[in-house]
Amino acid sequence: MARLKTVYVCQQCGVESPKWIGRCPSCKEWNSYAEQMIPGASKKSSREKLSRPVPELVSEISSANEERISTQSHEFNRVLGGGIVHGSVILIGGEPGIGKSTLALQVAMHSRAIRTLYISGEESSRQIKLRADRIGAGSDNCYILCETNLESIHAHIKNVNPGLIIIDSIQTLKSGNFESPAGSVSQIRECAAELLRYAKESSVPIMLIGHITKEGGLAGPKVLEHIVDVVLQFEGDHNYLYRVLRSSKNRYGSTSEIGLYEMQDDGLREVANPSEILVTRHQEDISGVAISAMVDGLRPFLIEIQSLVSSAAYGTPQRSSTGFDLRRLSMLLAVLEKRAGFRLASKDVFLNVAGGLKVTDPAADLAVISAILSSDTDLPVAQNTCFAGEVGLSGEIRPVSRLEQRITEAGKMGFQKIVISSFSKMEGLQKNHKIEILQAGKVEQLFRMLFNN
């Protein structure tokens, strides 16, 4: 029996200390140290037994292992950079109920050619079966195991010999070597390290599902994010059906690709053409609506921005925004007030981005102010017009990145006019596109352009 040692571990960042400390010197969190038992000597000796690598010439290292397993989910492949790399460990984080288990099970069920082992510590096999039935016809090559003990999981992995392992979730795993409860920093760290070692030795990819904290970060030690190869975030608004999968770390591809899904009764449906659903064609012109040609990651799409400006019913005007940063909205309102002379200080301003998506692209500014001006004056913006431009503090409209892509997407969606910054380089731009490209340099100019006065 290995000798047990007591240490105090910060539950936020995983730093250890022999004594209890009130405030973590590393992450500066208060009251985050908890007592934990770790095995003393025996742990070290087992680590030392690992085979030692020898230096190899870069040209002689085989790259065969980097071949990817292409899953049936096109969006999932896209976010990973073309598919799952053999031996990679992928961490998927997201709020409870957002659809992480559904996404993972769907990848497993739809990949008929791969034998998958779905290990759940959160649900019973009956519950998983019910979910699998909702997702519909799928692979008969997918095994379900409800287990949380790491050693027993290892034994089952040996028996089943899967080509892909899914762990739902890493916080429920428990290694017998440690006294601390499942979900504690040392358990998460050790279980993840153990699984990582298995993935690298056997070249079997592992998908880990992780919980997130109240603040929105992945629960558990930061080291977890360091040791895995890919970190994916699954996000969306619970009141809406759209979900966005984005990667914040990817050792095998770009982190700027996003995947879009729609949660339906029979699982997650991939959204191949987001512009079609995020833009509503109205029967008649209505005020307070403007379309932004935005880019998320590398992906251009058009999205509807809605605004309502009305006289404040109470003393203090309200500013409310869904899907757009409230501070940025306040900044844009201040620019309209100070630089362009619009009296908005005594008005309530509400802003909404269609589909419950979050817009962080600064190019949405132009559509936001157009929607606000349109609602304030009660004059509709022409439905065939869309916008792509950032608004600066002095009221100038600034050029944005990936303009060509935005213009192409707008043209593809049947828009006839796009408003961009007059500081954007126009060389050959108009020639290549049928859509009429309008340029504005200042907010006042935009106002005149939109409403002809």
Residue numbers at the binding site for ligand TYD (CB under 6 A) = 94, 96-102, 131, 134-135, 263, 265-267
Entry field: residues in the chain: 453
Residue 89: how many other CB atoms lie within 10 Å: 25
Residue 93 contact among Mg ion, ligand TYD, none, beta carbon within 5 to 8 Å by kind: none
Residue 166 Cβ vs ligand TYD, minimum distance, rounded to whole Å: 11
DSSP structural state of residue 140: S
Residue 222 contact among ligand TYD, Mg ion, none, beta carbon within 5 to 8 Å by kind: none
**Residue placing its CB nearer to Mg ion in the complex, 167 or 289:** 167
**Residue placing its CB nearer to ligand TYD in the complex, 96 or 315:** 96
Stretch (H or E) spanning 436? strand 436-440
CA-based nearest residue to 335, from 276, 245, 398? 398
**Residue placing its CB nearer to Mg ion in the complex, 12 or 101:** 101
Q: Would you say 243 and 268 are in contact if contact means Cβ atoms under 8 Å apart?
A: yes
Candidate ranges 98-106, 144-152, 392-400, 436-444; the one touching Mg ion (CB under 5 A): 98-106
Residue 211 Cβ vs Mg ion, minimum distance, rounded to whole Å: 9
CB-nearest residue to Mg ion: 101
Strands in 116-266 per DSSP E: 116-120, 142-146, 164-168, 206-210, 230-236, 242-250, 258-264
Residue 234 Cβ vs ligand TYD, minimum distance, rounded to whole Å: 7
Residue 236 contact among ligand TYD, Mg ion, none, beta carbon within 5 to 8 Å by kind: none
3-class secondary-structure state, position 349: strand
**Residue placing its CB nearer to ligand TYD in the complex, 102 or 184:** 102
Residue 61 Cβ vs Mg ion, minimum distance, rounded to whole Å: 38
Residue 89 Cβ vs ligand TYD, minimum distance, rounded to whole Å: 19
CA–CA separation, 369 and 439 (whole Å):
15
Phi and psi, residue 121, nearest 5° = -110, 5
Candidate ranges 101-109, 333-341, 392-400, 433-441; the one touching Mg ion (CB under 5 A): 101-109
State how beta strands 436-440 and 417-421 pair.
Answer: parallel
**Residue placing its CB nearer to ligand TYD in the complex, 94 or 380:** 94
**Residue placing its CB nearer to ligand TYD in the complex, 97 or 176:** 97
Residue 100 Cβ vs Mg ion, minimum distance, rounded to whole Å: 5
**Residue placing its CB nearer to ligand TYD in the complex, 127 or 384:** 127
The sign of the dihedral angle between the CA atoms of 14, 19, 25, 29 is positive
Residue 96 contact among Mg ion, ligand TYD, none, beta carbon within 5 to 8 Å by kind: ligand TYD
3-class secondary-structure state, position 14: coil
Q: What is the DSSP string of 16-71?
A: EESS--SB-TTT--BT-EEEEEEE-HHHHHHHHTSPPP----GGGS--GGGPEEPP
How many residues at the interface with Mg ion, by CB under 5 A? 1
Q: Does 101 bind Mg ion (CB under 5 A)?
A: yes
Residue 269 contact among ligand TYD, Mg ion, none, beta carbon within 5 to 8 Å by kind: none
List Cα–Cα distances, 6 to 29, 142, 187, 429, in angstroms: 21, 41, 14, 67
CA–CA separation, 231 and 93 (whole Å):
8
Residue 267 contact among Mg ion, ligand TYD, none, beta carbon within 5 to 8 Å by kind: ligand TYD
**Residue placing its CB nearer to ligand TYD in the complex, 109 or 185:** 109
Residue 207 Cβ vs ligand TYD, minimum distance, rounded to whole Å: 12
Contacts of 22 (CB under 8 A, 6+ apart): 30, 31, 33
Binding stretches for Mg ion (CB under 5 A) = 101
